[in-house]
Amino acid sequence: MPRPRKQINLDFSAIETALNNGESVDLKRLAAQNGTCPPVIRRILSEHFGSRLHFKPGRNGGIRWEATQPTPADTTV
């Protein structure tokens, strides 16, 4: 019999507010607060926010909003 899945309830509005305010948000801290591992939190955030998030690894890493690329204007020659 498979082990039951753990229910993880993230406060997406708090995460979004922290990102908008430029506060530090990292997978390790979110995982520790919810009693799970960082890859699980990463999967949940990717499913919820889609491609709007950028996960930066390393010492200065964390979660950031993905920089939007401006669409080039049609130039007429």
27-34 contacts at long range (C-beta below 8 A, 24 or more positions apart): 27/55, 27/62, 27/63, 34/8, 34/9, 34/10
Quick check: is 74 in a domain?
Answer: no
The CA distance from 38 to 26, in Å, is: 9
> Considering the entire predicted model, what is its pTM?
0.78
- Residue 2 confidence (pLDDT): 85
Look at the chain and report how many structural domains it folds into. Answer: 1
Q: DSSP class of residue 52?
A: G
Q: Kindly report, residue by residue over 9-39, the tens digit of the pLDDT.
A: 999 999 999 999 989 899 999 999 999 999 9
- Is residue 3 a part of any domain in this protein? no
* Within a domain: 71: no
Residue 61, in any domain of the structure: yes
Altogether, the residues listed in the chain come to a count of 77
Query: Which residues span the domain enclosing 38?
Result: 12-65
Asked whether residue 46 is domain-assigned, the answer is: yes
On whether residue 5 sits in a domain, the answer given is no
- pLDDT tier at 77, thresholds 50, 70, 90: low
